[in-house]
Amino acid sequence: MRILVIGSGGREHALVWKIAQSKLADKIFCAPGNAGIAQIAECIDIKADDIAGLLDFARKERIDFTVVGPEAALSLGIVDEFQKAGLKIFGPNKEAATLEASKVFSKELMAKYKVPTAEFKVFDNPDEAKEYIEKIGAPCVVKADGLAAGKGVVVAKTIDEARKAVEAMMRDKVFGAAGNKVIIEECLQGQEASILVITDSKEVIALASAQDHKRVFDNDCGPNTGGMGVYSPAPVVTKELFKEILEKIVYRTIDGLVKEGIDYRGVLYAGIMLTKEGPKTLEFNVRFGDPETQAILPRLKSDLLEVMLATAEQKLNRIKNLEWDERSSVCVVCAAGGYPGNYEKGKEIFGLDEVAKIKDVVIFHAGTKLRTVNDVGQKQEKEYLTNGGRVLGVVGLGKTIQEAIANTYAAVKKISFEGMHYRKDIGEKALMSNDKIQNPK
């Protein structure tokens, strides 16, 4: 099969890496891809949100199956356009992608179908939103309704911070039209967990649990990012708790979508807060998580391409169960200095060749590009340069979470580039848990 993967980050590198292991994959393209993806797929210079360009390419190159990485393309309706052209594609259609594209839609669906989540109220008037904040007090959470590249959520510790967030979103339009409406909700307390499932609206197959680290600095300090590291499985998600999350959150949401007449095929990502009252939903994403995918897929032994094909064809019932590596995995993100704020690009990355030789370690490129240079003898050399905020995801496997942590950080220490920053505490929460690690079967 000729496969097209859409996107350019660490998630897409992990998807291409896993798809390349399938006996069904003959040729893989990635648009636009990155320097790491270029090692195993042919990168095409078409942006992930250029639906017409991608469709034209898929037709000309006789693409058999397309896999969509980022949420923007899904919310723009890439699945609908490919399906109209008779092309197979993995991901939810535009209507189903509203679950992530509109937090208001998502929260109202949860309320209607009794999916546990934080208490909330929706506002289209900034003054009324600020009045409500004064009434409920802080801490509280302010969320922009639309897509904001993972930055549209402010966990406000003070009333003043919450008011400023409303002003920025609704009056200053820092996220554009995404801030036309905002949600003000209670601030949930507890540990977070990421639960990803693959569904064709009829069947649901759960992937391994994971725990992401959103804050930029150690001990969950500093501003939110797209994710600074993750481990899988999450020990805090016991077998019993996993079952409860599936029954009360995942199944209810998918059933609710079906009752609303929405055909959902693809990945459903649930961000969960494990509160004293039980698991509650923080958010839904309609695609593979980033960096969760980088930690989960190295543990998956089953053929991911087979599963995605069955999902697109609404024949997921032919996949009986997934086979998992019992080992733990830890992913540490190496970020550019200044991320998630302003950062520089074009810094040379050192140590990648050395790390590539280490057993049980995989590097997924997120924000990288390749530069070919000629030395004195006119011999061509390749240099990897930084080209984004999150540059690399370094993943280590181990029989225990301790061993996975050690393997990952041993590899991270061999990598360097100017301004490189990474958290040094990824996985520590797992060590604090007394629960036995349970892998979903």
Which pLDDT band holds residue 152 (cuts at 50, 70, 90)?
A: confident
Q: pLDDT tens-digit profile of 211-267?
A: 999 999 999 998 888 899 999 999 999 999 999 999 999 999 999 999 999 999 999
Question: What confidence score (pLDDT) does residue 79 get?
Answer: 98
Question: What confidence score (pLDDT) does residue 164 get?
Answer: 95
Question: What confidence score (pLDDT) does residue 379 get?
Answer: 64
Task: Calculate the average pLDDT of the chain.
Answer: 94
Q: Of 287, 288, 284, which is closest to residue 257 (Cα–Cα)?
A: 284
- Mean of the pLDDT values across residues 123-150? 93
How far does CA 295 lie from the centroid of its chain?
A: 11
Q: What angle do CA 191, 193, 20 make, to 5 degrees?
A: 150
Residues 6+ apart with CB under 8 A from 421: 216, 334, 335, 336, 337, 339
Torsion angle (degrees, nearest 10) of CA 395, 399, 403, 407: -30
Query: Of all residues in the chain, what percent carry a pLDDT higher than 90?
Result: 90
Q: Of 219, 136, 230, which is closest to residue 183 (Cα–Cα)?
A: 136
Q: Is the pTM of this model over 0.85?
A: yes
**The pLDDT of residue 276 is above 80:** yes
Q: pLDDT tens-digit profile of 316-373?
A: 999 988 999 999 999 999 999 999 999 999 999 999 999 999 999 999 999 999 988 7
Count Cα atoms within 13 angstroms, Cβ side, for 37: 30
Query: Of all residues in the chain, what percent carry a pLDDT higher than 70?
Result: 96
- Mean of the pLDDT values across residues 133-152? 90
The type of residue at 132 is Y
Q: pLDDT tens-digit profile of 384-400?
A: 999 999 999 999 999 99
Q: Cβ distance 91 to 67 under 8 Å?
A: yes
Question: What confidence score (pLDDT) does residue 381 get?
Answer: 77
Distance CA 430, CA 401 (A): 7
**The pLDDT of residue 423 is above 50:** yes
- Mean of the pLDDT values across residues 302-329? 96
Distance CA 64, CA 3 (A): 6
Question: What confidence score (pLDDT) does residue 376 get?
Answer: 56
**Phi and psi, residue 374, nearest 5°:** -105, 125
The type of residue at 3 is I
If one counts every other C-beta atom within 10 angstroms of the C-beta of residue 219, the result is 10
Residues 6+ apart with CB under 8 A from 189: 273, 275, 276
Question: What confidence score (pLDDT) does residue 382 get?
Answer: 83
Specify the residue for token string 């937090």. Answer: 103
Q: Of 232, 400, 399, which is closest to residue 331 (Cα–Cα)?
A: 232
- Mean of the pLDDT values across residues 81-89? 98
